Amino acid sequence: MAYITGLTRDRQEWTPQFLKAIDEDLCIGCGRCFKVCSHDVIGPVELDEEDSAKMYMRVANPGRCIGCQACGRTCSKKAFSFEPVPA
Ligand code: SF4
Ligand code: SF4
């Protein structure tokens, strides 16, 4: 299967790995991924659970992802999964 590919600055071809999902059970809501994504793909969700509040991240704008995987590198909980996208 052919996937969407890009070019590096020196014209080397590469296959972007686009954000597929964030596991909300693993996410601790630290916000690192939210800060590192320059394309506004990731957004916070706040849950009120009786006396405490929990925050986790969700894939808010999947269509804006460029497949750089920077978000996954910031996540100590390994909550991210990625995939190439068919061309
Ligand atoms: S970096 Fe990982 S643990 Fe932190 S908010 Fe993002 S998904 Fe959650
Ligand atoms: S792969 Fe890159 S563009 Fe996509 S959500 Fe993660 S940091 Fe943002």
Does 4 map to a domain? Answer: no
Cβ 58 vs Cβ 43: under 8 Å: yes
Q: Which helix (H) or strand (E) holds 80?
A: strand 80-83
Does 7 map to a domain? Answer: no
Average pLDDT over residues 28-39: 96
Sign of the CA dihedral with 8 first, then 80, 84, and 67 last: negative
Distance CA 1, CA 42 (A): 28
What does the mean pLDDT of the chain come to? 95
The CATH number of whichever domain residue 61 belongs to comes to 3.30.70.20
How many separate domains does the chain show?
1
Which structure tokens are listed for 87? Answer: 């061309």
Does 53 map to a domain? Answer: yes
Does 82 map to a domain? Answer: no
* C-beta 67 within 6 A of ligand 2: yes
Does 9 map to a domain? Answer: no
Does 14 map to a domain? Answer: no
Q: How far is the CA of 38 from the centre of ligand 2 (A)?
A: 7
Q: Tens digit of pLDDT for each residue in 65-76?
A: 999 999 999 999
pLDDT of 22 higher than 90:
yes
Average pLDDT over residues 30-48: 94
| Banded pLDDT at 54 (limits 50, 70, 90) | confident
Closest ligand, as measured to the CA of 76:
1
Distance CA 2, CA 78 (A): 27
Domain of 59?
A: 21-76
